[in-house]
Amino acid sequence: MKKIVKYVAVASALAMPVLAFANGNPQTKAAMTSAGCFACHAVSHKVVGPAYSWVAYVFAHKPGAVAHLAHKIISGGTGRWNAWTGGVPMVPHPQLTLAQAEQMAEWVLAQKPVKPPKA
């Protein structure tokens, strides 16, 4: 019995990082909150900008998605989501480093992908 409990404890400890990453790193989410990302975005629904789950759906399997989204986070702009945003541009975040923006992009892509509704 002790052996089974030990194996369950080890398996649980090994699974924790995977479960934590399933919805993204909590520290990255906190950095996104302080950068104001959640003023315009939510995980599952449109606020001003698209839901992060929609972004994950569109970009999750595209090569270079992290770099593309990181540059978009830093430079802002319009484009892909105009039909949902009415052309409201994403505010640039030039104060972020590329490494910070890449972590944020990885967090976004770690969300459960949901197909965007028709615009």
Q: For residue 5, what pLDDT is reported?
A: 36
Per-residue pLDDT of the chain (119 residues; tens, 9 = 90+): 555 434 433 333 333 333 333 467 889 989 999 999 999 999 999 999 999 999 999 998 999 999 999 999 999 989 899 999 999 999 999 999 999 999 999 999 999 999 999 98
Q: For residue 34, what pLDDT is reported?
A: 92
**Is 40 within the bounds of a domain?**
yes
**CA 111 – CA 114 distance, rounded (Å):** 9
**Is 64 within the bounds of a domain?**
yes
**Is 18 within the bounds of a domain?**
no
**Is 29 within the bounds of a domain?**
yes
**Is 4 within the bounds of a domain?**
no
Q: Which residues contact 15 (CB under 8 A, 6 or more apart)?
A: none
**Is 14 within the bounds of a domain?**
no
Q: For residue 11, what pLDDT is reported?
A: 37
**Residue whose C-alpha is closest to residue 108's, from 49, 97, 17, 48:** 49
**CA 23 – CA 118 distance, rounded (Å):** 25
Q: Residue 49 is part of a domain; what is its CATH number? A: 1.10.760.10
Neighbours of 53 (CB within 10 A): 18
Angle at which helix 65-75 crosses helix 98-109, to 10 degrees, equals 120
**38 is in which domain, residue-wise?**
24-109
Q: For residue 13, what pLDDT is reported?
A: 38
Query: Is the whole model's pTM more than 0.85, yes or no?
Result: no
Q: Which residues contact 78 (CB under 8 A, 6 or more apart)?
A: 85, 87, 88, 89, 90
For the chain, the domain total comes to: 1
